[in-house]
Amino acid sequence: MSDITIHEGDEYTAIFHQGPFDGTTDTRTATGDAVEDEVTVFADVEGLQTAFTYKATHARQVLDQTSVDYTWVPSESDPVDDLQDRGDRSGEFDRE
């Protein structure tokens, strides 16, 4: 991805693959002279804020538009049960 020209403050499109954000996009702003190698996105899952880690796998630049593909890394994300395994959780997260 070193052939991408981007500068701090430039916007680029993040395209998420796999995981809970599969198929979604986000406009991000570069915080340096490179796109982020890894991003963490958050979602509420059963009332708890859950972190999902995505790593950059491919970047492309067409004219002045930069797009970066990010793939979900389950081992570095907060664990989430599959929908069919969720069942009744009333009281499971109660704190004393």
User: pLDDT tens digits for 34-76?
Assistant: 899 999 999 888 788 899 999 999 999 888 899 999 999 999 9
Residue 87 lies in a domain: no
| Overall domain count for the chain | 1
Query: Per-residue b/e over 20-51, b at no fewer than 16 CB within 10 Å?
Result: ebeeeeeebebeeebbbeebebeeeeeeeeee
Residue 1 lies in a domain: no
Residue 61 counted as domain residue: yes
Residue 85 covered by a domain = no
How far apart are alpha carbons 21 and 50 in whole angstroms? 12
CA dihedral 20, 21, 22, 28 (to 10 degrees): -160
Q: Is the pLDDT of residue 86 over 60?
A: no
Q: How far apart are CA 14 and CA 38, in angstroms?
A: 11
